Structure 1
Amino acid sequence: MPFDAPVRSRRRAQNAVRFLVAILIAIFLDGGSAAAEVVGRSPRVLLLHPYDERLPASSIAGENARNRLIEATSGNVDLFSEFLDLSRFPEEAHIDRMARYMAEKYVDHRPDVVIALGESATRFIVNNREAIAPDAKIVFCGFGRDSASKLNLPADVVGAFSEFDIAKTLELAHALQPDAKHLFIIGGSAAFDRTWLDSARTDLAVASKDYATTYLEGLAIDEFVERAARFPPDSIVLFLTILADSTGRNFLPKDALAIVAAKASAPIYGPYDTYVGQGVVGGNSVTFESLGNAVAGLALDALAGKPITDIEVPQTFFADARQLKRWGLSESSLPAETALSFREPTLWEQHGDLVVGVIAVVALQGLIITGLLIERRRRFAAEGESRLRLLELVHMNQSATAGALSASIAHELNQPLGAIRSNAEAAEAILRGTAPDLNIIQQILTDIREDDERAGNIILRLRGLLKKRSEIDWQEFDLNEIVDSALNILHAEAAKKQVAVSAEQSGRRLPVRADKVHLQQVILNLATNAIDAMVEAATADRKLVLHTTLHGDTKVEMSISDTGRGIPKDRLNSIFDAFYTTKPTGTGLGLSIARAIVETYGGKIWADNRVGGGAVFRFVLPLAEAT
């Protein structure tokens, strides 16, 4: 049967390519070197289409052949395509012009293989072989052995035969409509259409006797539609092709089919799978994708110098599930292995994966949630352990600070204690007199009380440094208060080492939420380090400045600057690392602990060198109240 069909979805092309990948690779690996024997250039393949580029049949087959050739040769092939347009220009004069044109066009680029898509293209290249491709191998596809025998093809012209058996399409229709009484066969007025009608009369001569058979031909498209609208309900309709109607109007067969099927009052069947989606219930056909792959295989063997022989491309039944539903036809009546398109999946088929997926997701989520809960508990335990270790480190650091300041604290404590003793002795002496002055005694007692409070405050601050706790004491307080407290503790040590200490505090409250003792420890760590850094500086130049201020709208900033030797630039990024120290007797934990404390309360700490010499340490903390 001659080669022609309307366009359809490329799903079959993709499936066919996947199915033939293994064969394709084998052909290429075996034939690649032989194909390369075309010395000095890539092999040339001419794809010869019988009609114009709009015709789906040759376009689908040609595209699949092209893709397979490119893939099998890794692109090492020159591909040419020609469209003879013989459906609209069947005249001999046009054929002669095309032959002369192509002979001249390819005079310097003679093809090594010509792939003829369909009977008309095969006849054309065989008749004009010497002029266009005298040394080329010719392979073809798209028609059967009976048609080939009528062409009297040379022995070296080899094809992929396909039988478009309209009797098998009627077989499918009968299986679906066993009680049908009428048979209508539709064909157009083009030469190709008439060839189809002639074949149908021959192929259906026996089977059509079981029906009241009518051939609808030689009509205009509107007449086809009118007749289709009046088909009896118990009719089977076979739509062949309409390339042209009786008025000479040209069509793509699929478009003509869609026009007729839209008004038809009975189910329509056709011999091309490209009719699926255009209104046919189904049919029997060789797919054009498989034709393209098969003829490309012959071309590859020819390029590789292998012997090639004719092959048969198998047929398949196909059906459209939507049309089955439209006409109330049973899917179970279809022949085995029918390719069913547009089938609505069952509830399980449609949502089974989703249900399984949902169950899997829920189960997975359950596992994840369980894991997260376990991890959360572990994290809380780890955080508690970390906080405990931090508190222990802070306490150790506080004890070390208290030890380092012990001499200064003792000296500062001796002052009020000594004053108390002196005042007490003076009071005793006055009382031993004959007329003690009670006003003086009262003043002495006031001095003793003030000195006692002063000593008590010193001891209270020392107890704060030495107190060990198992939890953070969260409080909201003014950062300036902690600065004042730290200055009181540092006063004696700074005086001992002749360091002038001053504070530049913000004029407003700077509320933060943290542990007072912890922030005090940060300030003491930074300040004592600053005091130690100034031991080599001249006495007059030893200055320690504590400064507090707002940092933006949501943070407070504390800076502690000195006039010491500064920090080497290559050490600025490592001074907060644990065990890093520049002191001969230092532990290297003070600054590391300071950073841990500041970060615990959502802050950040860093160090820089001052422009005028010395270092400055800064840390920021979130404001407890937005400004």
Structure 2
Amino acid sequence: MRPIYFPSQKLGLSGGTTMLCDPPVRSRRRAQNAVRFLVAILIAIFLDGGSAAAEVVGRSPRVLILHPYDEWLPASAIAGANARARLQEATAGKIDLFSEYLDQARFPERAHIDRMARSMADKYVDRRPDVVIALGESATRFIVEHREAIAPDAKIVFGGFGRDSVSKLNLPVGVVGAFSEFDITKTLELASALQPDAENLFIIGGSAAFDRTWLANARRDLADAAKDYETTYLEGLAIDEFAERASRFPADSIVLFLTILADGTGRNFLSKDALAIVAAKASAPIYGPYDTYIGQGVVGGNSVTFESLGNAVAGLALDALAGKPITDIEVPQTFFADARQLKRWDLSESALPAGTALSFKQPDIWQQYRRLVLGIIAVVALQAAVITGLLVERRRRFAAEGESRQRLLELVHMNQSATAGALSASIAHELNQPLGAIRSNAEAAEAILNGKNPDLNLIQQILADIRDDDQRAGDIILRLRGMLKKRGEVDWQEFDLNEVVDSAINILHAEAAKKQVAVSAQQSGRRLPVRADKVHLQQVILNLATNAMDAMVEAATADRKLVLHTTLHGDTKVEMSISDTGRGIPKDRLNSIFDAFYTTKPTGTGLGLSIARSIVETYGGKIWADNRAGGGAVFRFVLPLAQAA
């Protein structure tokens, strides 16, 4: 029983404290103290009745884990490791853990068992365990027989075998376990589900005592199920003979591998190592009752996992150390399978019982790279959204560009009409000249014909003059029609820029004569091909030239000079400049003269230069203005050569 300490000051039993009170008070306090003392005694009795002998006070608890075989046996090693881990975690490391390996597979003799008992009794004489965890039937039998010598006051917790084995051990009261039922019929159930057409059943077991126990249990438990198969038990063989027989199993066979801790020659094995030797040569699928066989060649089976066994016995040990009542528990069983072996034997994964733990399953792309796939999908979706947005924006931009071009064409047409209106007086004057000449020549011819001896040669000359004047008038009208013609789209052409300059000079001729401006052209000696709308470039030249002539109104008549100059600009562009001898452009306005609605004329619209810039930029060019050193301004624009464009 854990001692219960009651500090006297807290219970009011100190004489020094009570002497300071009046007699009535002292009597009342004595009664209260008596009640408290009685309650404390009752609590102590109650706790003593429910406490375990293994309850520890004043030191770390001690737990001894007994393994039936050596440290390499996977079953007890895994169970023991999980038990230790849970005990360490639950006590925050404040626990003393001991492990002993009885090695009874290799040393089953009674003399060895007695020597082990005496050795442990001496070893733990000063550190008696509070709880002993026995893993397996032989370890449980050992500690029960030698409990008084090794751990007389310890609680015993066992695990790793079933209720049938417990009944044979005749365990004393208070020995509690985690029952592990290794039901071989469940393993056969799994095999039958995977191989419904199997006709042969082979059961393999070794020659050690534990192996023979397994074989005896299998004969008993499989008596009914084995009737559905041609059943053969393979036992007492050398390991090589097991492997050789396994290589000759019919394809429609189910093979149950129990344990081989020793073969027929007395050679000792870990069962999983023996299984690996046999499975490597087997010609039919192999199943087994331990999950430690996974990875050694078995397809699957049914078992209590040794991890869950270790956790279960550790839980019982913790309850015992805490003084809690403990009772026997069942460790749950589970089906298990190896995905690689299913694939090797072409067995369907869908035939596995529900809840089967499947090992070594190759994850699909979604399982293995889920985050990456989601990331890629997100990126692709984002890219698709961006591309869709860009396509929509591109379509809108094309529509806007088309509309802008249409507005530009309309503005150009309006500008052409305005230019034609501004030049109408000059054009009319220019047109009157050939028309007047035609009339005069016609009257002269009529007068000659009315004479007695008409001079036919003179009449022929007059008719030639009439034809030339008519051609001249027709050209004037044709140029005017070109200016006034409205276009619904750009008329792309390849032409010589010099031709457009000549055409513009012809249109400006009358206006220049009216304003007494001397117009001259300095053209490149070579052809300057560009690709654009010829009428549009003609309009640019007309806009710049008419502005230049307007800027020279205040200049002396002799100084009014307009020069149109074309040249090659580098290897890929052509340049045209239009210079005048006017008043020039204020420096602070050089950067704003091409802005829409900017004008210095009282009656100007401010669109001429803006339209000129839009036209030049539409055809891949650039336009700018400077002041000439000798006075006046010069407007320049460059366009790409047709070959470069």
Indicate the TM-score class for this superposition, using the shorter chain for normalisation.
0.5 to 0.7
**2: CA distance between counterparts of 1:139 and 1:342?**
34
Shift of 1:38: 1.8
Query: In the alignment, which residue of structure 2 is the partner of 1:247?
Result: 265
Residues 256-265 or 36-45, more deviating: 36-45
**Residues 1:230 and 2:248 aligned together:** yes
The 5-angstrom pairing of residues 146-545 of structure 1 reads 146-361=164-379
Is the 2:52–2:320 Cα contact (8 Å) retained in structure 1? no
Q: Which residue of 2 aligns with 1:118?
A: 136
Distance 2:313 2:367 in 1: 37
Tell me the secondary structure at the aligned position of residue 40 of structure 1. coil
How much does 1:49 deviate? 0.5
- Conserved? CA contact 2:54–2:154, under 8 Å: no
Distance 1:112 1:367, change over 3 A: farther
Write the distance in 2 (CA, Å) between the matches of 1:316 and 1:305: 31
Contact 1:273/1:318 (8 A) holds in 2: yes
CA distance in 2, matches of 1:182, 1:257: 19
User: In the aligned structure 2, how far is the partner of 1:101 from the partner of 1:142?
Assistant: 25
Match in the other structure for 1:54: 72
Distance in 1 of aligned mates of 2:313 and 2:247: 41
Distance of 1:347 and 1:205 partners within structure 2: 45
CA separation in 1, counterparts of 2:142 and 2:357?
A: 34
- Post-superposition CA distance 1:253-302 (Å, at most 9, x none): 00100110001000000000110111001100000000000000000000
Number of corresponding residues: 344
- AA of the residue aligned to 1:313: V
Deviation readout 1:13-57 (Å, 9 max, x if unpaired):
xxxxxxxxxxxxxxxxxxxx9999622210000011110000000
Quote the offset at 1:363 in angstroms: 6.6
Q: Aligned letter for 2:303?
A: S
TM-score by length of 1: 0.52
Change (3 A) 1:267 1:75: same
Shift in Å, 1:357 = 1.8
Distance in 2, matches of 1:203 and 1:289, equals 25
Letter of the structure 1 residue corresponding to residue 311 of structure 2 = N
Question: Following the alignment from structure 1 to structure 2, what is the Cα–Cα distance between the partners of residues 120 and 241?
Answer: 16
Q: Distance in 2 between matches of 1:266 and 1:249?
A: 25
- TM-score computed with the length of structure 2 as normaliser: 0.51
* Pair member with larger Rg: 2
Indicate yes or no: 2:91 matched with 1:73: yes
2: CA distance, partners of 1:368 / 1:158:
69
CA RMSD of aligned residues (A): 2.7
CA contact (8 A) 2:53 2:153 kept: no
Q: Is the 8 A contact 2:182 2:304 kept in 1?
A: yes
Classify 1:35/1:93 alpha carbon distance in 2 versus 1 (closer, same or farther; 3 Å): closer
- CA contact under 8 A between 2:52 and 2:325: conserved in structure 1? no
CA distance in 1 between partners of 2:52 and 2:386 (Å): 59
Residues 198 and 254 in structure 2, CA contact (< 8 A), matched pair in contact too:
yes
**Which letter does structure 2 place at the counterpart of 1:198?**
A
Q: 1:367 to 1:116 in 2, by over 3 A?
A: farther
| CA drift at 1:367 | 11
Local SS of the residue matching 2:254: strand
Contact preservation (8 Å) 2:54, 2:130: no
State how far apart, in whole Å, the 1-side matches of 2:119 and 2:53 are.
28
Task: Sort the Cα spacing of 1:34 and 1:134 in 2 relative to 1 into closer, same or farther, 3 A.
Answer: closer
Higher relative contact order (CA 8 A, sep 6+): 1
Superposition deviation, residue 362 in structure 1:
6.0
Cα deviation 1:306-329 (Å, max 9, x = unaligned): 000000001000111111111111
Question: Which whole-Å CA distance do the structure 1 matches of 2:150 and 2:369 have between them?
Answer: 58
1:128 aligns with 2:141: no
- Identity of paired residues, percent? 84
Residue in 2 that maps onto 1:552: none
Match of 1:41 among 53, 56, 59: 59
CA contact (8 A) 1:36 1:42 kept: no
- Checking the alignment, whether the CA contact within 8 Å between 1:116 and 1:140 is kept in structure 2 is yes
Return the alpha-carbon distance in structure 2 between the equivalents of residues 153 and 332 of structure 1: 44
The letter for the 2-side match of 1:283 is G
Deviations 1:467-526 (A, max 9, x none): x9xxxxxxxxxxxxxxxxxxxxxxxxxxxxxxxxxxxxxxxxxxxxxxxxxxxxxxxxxx
| 1:349, distance to aligned residue in structure 2 (A) | 3.0
1:86 and 1:314 map into 2 onto residues whose CA distance is: 27
Shift of 1:364: 7.7
* 8 A contact 1:35–1:304 mirrored in 2: no
Deviations 1:436-485 (A, max 9, x none): xxxxxxxxxxxxxxxxxxxxxxxxxxxxxxxx9xxxxxxxxxxxxxxxxx
Letter of the 1:59 partner, please give it.
A
Aligned match of 1:595: none
CA distance in 2, matches of 1:172, 1:157: 34
What letter corresponds to residue 135 of structure 2 in structure 1? L
In 1, distance between residues paired with 2:154 and 2:69? 22
| Aligned-partner Cα distance in 1 for 2:55–2:193 | 53
**1:96 equivalent in structure 2:** 114
Following TM superposition, by how much is the alpha carbon of 1:122 offset from its aligned partner in structure 2, in angstroms?
Answer: 0.3
- Deviation for aligned residue 1:343: 1.4
Asked if the contact 1:47/1:79 (under 8 Å) is kept, the reply is: yes
1:86 is aligned to: 104
